[in-house]
Copies of this chain bind each other. A is one copy, B any other.
Amino acid sequence: MKMLIPHMTEAELGQLRASAPALDFLVARDRQEALTLAPQAHASFSYYHPDLVAAAPHLRWVQTRSAGVDNCPFDQFRARNITLTNARDIYGIQLADHTLALILAFSRQLPLLCRAQQRQEWVSRHTFPPGELAGQTILVVGLGGTGLESARRAAGFGMRVLATRRRTSEPKPGFVDALHPPEDLHQLLPQADWVAVCVPLTRHTRDLFSDREFALMKRNAHIVCVTRGGIINTAALVRALEKGRIGGAGLDVTDPEPLPAGHPLWSRPDVIITPHAAGHSPHADTRMHDLLCQNVRRFARGEALLNVVDLELEY
């Protein structure tokens, strides 16, 4: 059997071959080269655009490099029952670090103080009101890899942690105070001082946060999102901020992305924008390669793969 892979170091390729000696690895340097090799491929890592899938009649398994799979050709995968595995649990740690960094930056007034530092001005402590997280309520929307790690960190600050998760039958972690099904979102929003959006972008979560949801939030509550643009409706967010409906927004992902110069979100003092940087970590590549080696070994042996995506739920 043959697996299509992008270029990697000799050391990485060596580890991959050692993980599955029976597998042949076809190295493609770009999408065009991948398309040429596609007819031979039984599996593919990181290449899965529609043309390629159409040109690969033997394709049975696709491994993505990302946690989000919103750009996958699900119709083709469903029609041919191609197994899709993603990179969840690779990014949860740094996405949660970034989520808490944004929350603490708002709570401790770092954007204002960063600008004061640029002016070399020791601003009076009475001109701004830093908060404290202990006793405040965070609503983690989507208790998956990123949500779990965010909830764990928030609990360390003494926050009350509410969360939603589709799979409510799985046990509730001790650091989560209450776990609800996604349908309870609207009844939970009025309780939250902080809303951490941790769901993936799917056809079910597009525009999950729009006018109605912002209207349900506390006027001083903040929303933070590091997973994908499009879950928060940008126009509705701008309306909510301009009308003072919510306290602020910390966004590592936007819609459109990149956020164009001149967009109203850039210059608002109640908004922090970071450029899709939350997934970055010096250890992400190592974790990704470890996962790839494990799944390659499992695939060669015909064992169950890790991180299988539900083709109906699309995550």
- Tell me if A14 is interfacial: C-beta within 8 Å of chain B: no
Q: Are B277 and A108 touching (Cβ within 8 A)?
A: yes
Q: Are B105 and A105 touching (Cβ within 8 A)?
A: yes
- Tell me if A313 is interfacial: C-beta within 8 Å of chain B: no
Q: A104-B97, A266-B120 are in contact. Are A129 and B261 (CB under 8 A)?
A: no
User: Main SS of chain A's interface residues?
Assistant: loop
Among A2-10, A151-159, A197-205, A207-215, the stretch that binds chain B is: A151-159
- State which residues 146-204 of A face B: CB under 8 Å: 152-158
Range of interface residues on A (Cβ < 8 Å): 35 or more
Q: Are B100 and A283 touching (Cβ within 8 A)?
A: no
Compute how far the CA of A121 lies from the CA of B131 in the bound complex, rounded to whole angstroms: 29
Q: Are B94 and A261 touching (Cβ within 8 A)?
A: no
- Tell me if A240 is interfacial: C-beta within 8 Å of chain B: no
Q: Are A94 and B132 touching (Cβ within 8 A)?
A: yes
- State which residues 259-315 of A face B: CB under 8 Å: 259, 261-263, 266-267, 272-278, 280-283
Which residues in B have their C-beta under 8 angstroms from that of A93?
132, 134, 158
Q: From residue A78, how far is it (CB to closest CB) to chain B in Å?
A: 32
Q: A130-B280, A259-B122, A277-B108 are in contact. Are A97 and B157 (CB under 8 A)?
A: yes
Q: From residue A256, how far is it (CB to closest CB) to chain B in Å?
A: 10
Q: From residue A113, how far is it (CB to closest CB) to chain B in Å?
A: 5
How many copies of this protein are present in the complex? Answer: 2
Compute how far the CA of A233 lies from the CA of B157 in the bound complex, rounded to whole angstroms: 30
- State which residues 85-104 of A face B: CB under 8 Å: 93-94, 97-98, 100-101, 104
Q: A98-B108, A104-B97, A104-B104 are in contact. Are A117 and B276 (CB under 8 A)?
A: no
Q: Which of A113, A121, A131, A132 neighbours the largest number of chain B CB atoms within 10 Å of its CB?
A: A132
Which residues in B have their C-beta under 8 angstroms from that of A272?
110, 114, 117
Q: Are A104 and B94 touching (Cβ within 8 A)?
A: no
- Tell me if A107 is interfacial: C-beta within 8 Å of chain B: yes
Q: Are A104 and B100 touching (Cβ within 8 A)?
A: yes
Compute how far the CA of A263 lies from the CA of B122 in the bound complex, rounded to whole angstroms: 12
Which residues in B have their C-beta under 8 angstroms from that of A107?
97, 101
Which residues in B have their C-beta under 8 angstroms from that of A130?
94, 98, 277-278, 280-281
Compute how far the CA of A258 lies from the CA of B134 in the bound complex, rounded to whole angstroms: 29
Which residue of the partner chain, among B117, B158, B275, contacts A113 with CB atoms under 8 Å?
Answer: B275
Q: Which residues of A are in contact with B by a Cβ distance under 8 Å? A: 93-94, 97-98, 100-101, 104-105, 107-111, 113-118, 120-125, 128-135, 152-158, 257-259, 261-263, 266-267, 272-278, 280-283
27 residue pairs from A and B, CB less than 8 Å apart? A93-B132, A97-B157, A100-B104, A100-B157, A101-B104, A101-B108, A104-B104, A104-B105, A105-B110, A108-B278, A109-B277, A110-B274, A113-B273, A114-B272, A116-B275, A117-B272, A117-B274, A120-B262, A120-B266, A124-B275, A129-B280, A130-B277, A130-B278, A132-B283, A135-B283, A152-B156, A156-B157
